Amino acid sequence: MSETTDTDVLIAGGGLAGASLALALHRAGLEVTVVDPQPFEAQLAPTFDGRSTAIAFSTYRMLHTLGLGEDLAPHACRMDRILVTDGRRPGAAARAPSSAFLRFDADEIGASTGGEPLGYMIENRRLRVALARALGETDVTVRAPVGVTAVETGIGRSTVTLSDGSRVRASLVVGAEGRRSVVRDAAGIGVIRQPYGQSGVVATVRMAEPHGNVAHEYFLPGGPFAILPLTDQRASLVWTEPTRAAEALRSASDRAFLAHLTRRFGDFLGEVRPEGPRFVYPLELSLATAMTAPRVALIGDAAHGVHPVAGQGLNMGLKDVAALAEVLADARLLGEDIGAEPVLERYAQWRRFDTVALTLAFDAFVKLFSNDIAPVRAVRDLGMAAVNRIAPLRRAFMHEAGGATGDLPKLLRGEAV
């Protein structure tokens, strides 16, 4: 007979969102089990996925509150300015880039943010290492490599069957395994998908000249192109291209890769040198039709997957974490069943509007900028110029990007749940 264990919350997926939720719930006094089909050690390898993440300043406060600040500080690069430019298709016959641009400067909102930058760039591996260390100092049960194969909902508990044949009974099951969530599918929650026909090329380069903590976003007809500052005079490239072109860039020689980079972005950054492998990720919009089901809650990419154009994917996922952790902690203090429908509906109501609104906004933004249609270009250039000239609107954009607006959960305000 297979082994059966009990826990308050089973989190399927030990990535950045799942591990953060485990840490937050443990601090709230809940018994937590995390399962993940990847060996945990593999997720700590420098070449696991090669990505870096833009962390909003409110999200960075949350990570400090969870006890990760000391580990992350040496690896977090401030983004003090963001320059957004509308470009044209590269080529010898191309006209000059548009003069329309946006400039966001942290100093402009410094009085209301306590001198915080617009955000921080952190390599995902540094986040994973910090989370692993913090979880290692708790009694959170981490089981990997093992995945979820079935979820059965019963009265008062759910029973989860794992790939090793064992079972776990939990008051609540959280799907945090990304866009192909087994928990979401087992709960019968649908998902809306829209492939973009684009892939993101992710690479790290070392720069000869200081980047000055400035992030550059350059919109080309094939998709957005970003150079994002990292520590140690490096930068993370997030380069969106039609899928076939992206695959060609992955296998190109360093010399050819740099030639394409210079052709698209110019040589104002000086000499750059690629470091480490390149990674290519297919891009699509995905949006779950619900964030909860009986004894199931979704967080992160299991609930919503957005284009990386605004660097908000993980920030949205950690907002889910902060909201769900607070709802469950409050329910526990009130003696409520943490997996009951009224409790989970409070979480869904808190996150539903923000999730849908941001997902659709990013989708519209991508469609607006990933083309070279003259009338559309004229309208967006006028819009960019207007935002750049209207200071209150520009400041509102910066506060929104920093995650400091709306009904913020305690963790995003830097308070423990």
Q: Please give the chain's pLDDT, 417 residues, in tens.
A: 468 999 999 999 999 999 999 999 999 999 999 999 988 787 787 777 888 999 998 999 999 999 999 999 999 999 999 888 876 544 433 444 455 667 888 888 777 777 889 899 999 999 999 999 999 999 999 999 999 999 999 888 999 999 999 999 999 999 999 999 999 999 999 999 999 888 999 999 998 888 999 998 888 777 788 899 999 999 999 888 889 999 999 889 988 998 888 877 666 667 888 888 899 999 899 999 999 999 999 999 999 998 887 678 899 999 999 999 999 999 999 999 999 999 999 999 999 998 998 888 878 777 766 666 667 666 666 666 666 667 676 777 676 666 666 688 999 999 999
Which pLDDT score, from 0 to 100, does residue 91 have? Answer: 42
Residue recorded with tokens 């890769």: 257
Q: Which residues does residue 235 pair with via DSSP β-bridges, in sequence order?
A: 205, 229
276-287 per-position pLDDT tens digit: 889 999 989 999
97-106 per-position pLDDT tens digit: 455 667 888 8
Q: Are 72 and 138 in contact (CB under 8 A)?
A: no
Q: Is 316 helix (H, G, I), strand (E, B) or coil?
A: helix
Q: Could you give the CA distance from residue 34 to residue 140 in angstroms, rounded to a whole number?
A: 7
Q: What is the pTM for the complete model shown?
A: 0.91
Which pLDDT score, from 0 to 100, does residue 92 have? Answer: 37
Q: Are 229 and 211 in contact (CB under 8 A)?
A: yes
Q: Residue 110 corresponds to which amino acid?
A: G
Q: Could you give the CA distance from residue 259 to residue 200 in angstroms, rounded to a whole number?
A: 18
Which pLDDT score, from 0 to 100, does residue 402 have? Answer: 65
- Cβ-based burial of 226 (10 A; exposed 0-12, middle 13-18, buried ≥19): buried
Which pLDDT score, from 0 to 100, does residue 404 have? Answer: 66
Angle at 286 between CA 302 and CA 147, to 5 degrees: 30
Residue recorded with tokens 């993980």: 314
Q: Could you give the CA distance from residue 35 to residue 146 in angstroms, rounded to a whole number?
A: 6
Which pLDDT score, from 0 to 100, does residue 95 have? Answer: 47
Q: How many CA atoms lie within 13 A of 139 on its CB side?
A: 5
Q: Could you give the CA distance from residue 174 to residue 292 in angstroms, rounded to a whole number?
A: 9
Which pLDDT score, from 0 to 100, does residue 324 have? Answer: 98
Q: Could you give the CA distance from residue 398 to residue 396 in angstroms, rounded to a whole number?
A: 5
